[in-house]
């Protein structure tokens, strides 16, 4: 006789964390991805505004016409200007290009092709290196180093991080776009080097960038389905974690981890008492008068158990103020409430 009972799918998602993360996005549009950086298992993947799958059919027309796109899985399909969270990618390219000096004398502005790039709050930092540049998120530093390094080195690093390439995953994903094409002007290269310009990323991709740094330079394949079981409970398929590719040398990952840990220790709202946290905030200017607020992080720095990417879409806030505390709550949940 025909067996009409389907198989069961066991996800890597932690239900408690998924609900907790969904509630943290209350009042925001955006996405959160949290994962285990060593094996790629996704602990939570949240996109808001959401919808009720139970009333999907009756609400279908309303949902497909809704201005805020509730059916779009922002975590895997949303493409966002990254702002300063992208600086970790530029930093990685700089560290792996030993011919480029990491020292810079910041005068508060960097002029390229008649276009002036300034630091947030018009601040001036003077003589700085990579550590300070990431800690204070110095735009001029990354614009200058991006130009000195050149488009190709930056584009190659983006490609290593899966920009322009489909991330293998169980759900449909958009492909992140590098802002370093052959057509890019110097002004566009400078802007893209600190996360503005034409660069667009998915939250999943930024969670993988963060996991790569946490995982000593190797990017894990993201995994959502743990096992597939028959209705009798037999395991039909078990997902074995695997590495997508080595992106960075272990030394580069170590340097970035140290800089990102110093950045959080300098007073970030993602800090967790008694735990070393590595992180970077981002505030991307989108359109005339609003921002995407970002935070990427992992913890503990010395033995990472969780990597997180948070984006608040068109939030008009600073990532350090709004996305950072959300990332902190997610990390705390994994570190203290997971069994």
Query: Mind listing the pLDDT tens digit for each residue in 146-192?
Result: 999 999 999 999 999 999 999 999 999 999 999 999 999 999 999 99
Q: How confident is the model at residue 54 (pLDDT cuts 50, 70, 90)?
A: low
Residues 62-112 pLDDT 10s: 656 666 655 578 999 999 999 999 999 999 999 999 999 999 999 999 999
Beta strands in the chain (DSSP E): 8-11, 30-35, 42-48, 104-106, 109-112, 115-118, 126-128, 218-220, 225-229, 235-238, 243-246, 278-286, 290-299, 306-312
Beta strands in 84-193 (DSSP E): 104-106, 109-112, 115-118, 126-128
Task: Please tell me the predicted confidence (pLDDT) of residue 338.
Answer: 84
Catalytic-role residue among 47, 84, 176, 281 = 84
| pLDDT, average across residues 283-305 | 93
Say yes or no to pLDDT of 122 above 70. yes
Task: Please name the residues in contact with 103: beta carbons below 8 A apart, sequence gap of 6 or more.
Answer: 127, 128, 129
Q: How confident is the model at residue 261 (pLDDT cuts 50, 70, 90)?
A: very high
Determine contact, residues 261/132, Cβ cutoff 8 Å.
no
Task: Please tell me the predicted confidence (pLDDT) of residue 18.
Answer: 95
Determine contact, residues 35/211, Cβ cutoff 8 Å.
yes
DSSP class of residue 85 equals G
Tell me the C-alpha to C-alpha distance, in Å, between residue 142 and each of 105, 108, 176, 297, 323.
Answer: 12, 12, 20, 20, 22
Q: How many CB atoms lie within 10 A of CB 238?
A: 11
Tell me the C-alpha to C-alpha distance, in Å, between residue 330 and each of 7, 107, 181, 295, 320.
Answer: 31, 38, 35, 12, 15
> Does the active-site annotation cover 84?
yes
145 backbone dihedrals φ, ψ, rounded to 5°:
-70, -35
Q: How many CA atoms lie within 13 A of 290 on its CB side?
A: 9
């Amino acid at each position: 006789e025909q067996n009409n009972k389907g198989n069961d799918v066991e996800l890597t998602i932690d239900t408690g964390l998924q609900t907790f993360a969904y509630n943290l996005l209350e009042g925001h549009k955006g996405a959160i991805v949290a994962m285990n950086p060593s094996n790629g298992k996704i602990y939570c993947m949240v996109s808001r505004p959401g919808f009720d799958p139970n009333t999907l059919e009756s609400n279908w027309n309303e949902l497909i016409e809704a201005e805020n796109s509730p059916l779009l899985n922002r975590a895997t399909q949303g493409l966002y200007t990254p702002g300063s969270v992208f600086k970790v990618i530029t930093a990685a390219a700089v560290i792996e290009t030993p011919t480029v000096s990491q020292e810079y004398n910041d005068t508060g502005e960097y002029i390229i092709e008649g276009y002036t790039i300034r630091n947030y709050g018009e601040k001036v930092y003077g003589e700085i290196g990579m550590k300070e540049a990431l800690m204070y998120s110095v735009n001029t530093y990354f614009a200058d180093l991006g130009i000195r390094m050149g488009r190709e080195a930056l584009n190659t690093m983006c490609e290593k991080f899966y920009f322009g390439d489909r991330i293998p995953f169980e759900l449909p994903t958009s492909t992140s776009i590098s802002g370093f094409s052959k057509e890019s002007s110097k002004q566009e290269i400078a802007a893209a080097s600190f996360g503005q310009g034409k660069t667009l990323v998915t939250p999943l991709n930024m969670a993988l960038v963060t996991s790569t740094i946490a995982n000593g330079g190797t990017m894990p394949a993201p995994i959502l389905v743990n096992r597939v079981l028959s209705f009798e409970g037999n395991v039909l398929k078990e997902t074995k974690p695997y590495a997508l590719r080595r992106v960075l040398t272990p030394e580069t990952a170590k340097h970035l981890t140290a800089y990102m840990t110093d950045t959080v220790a300098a007073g970030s709202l993602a800090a967790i008492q008694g735990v070393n946290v590595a992180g970077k905030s981002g505030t991307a200017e989108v359109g005339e008068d609003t921002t995407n607020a970002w935070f990427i992080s992992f913890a503990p720095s010395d033995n990472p158990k969780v990597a997180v990417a948070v984006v608040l879409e068109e939030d008009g806030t600073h990532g350090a103020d709004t996305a950072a505390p959300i990332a902190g709550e997610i990390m705390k949940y994994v570190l203290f409430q997971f069994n």
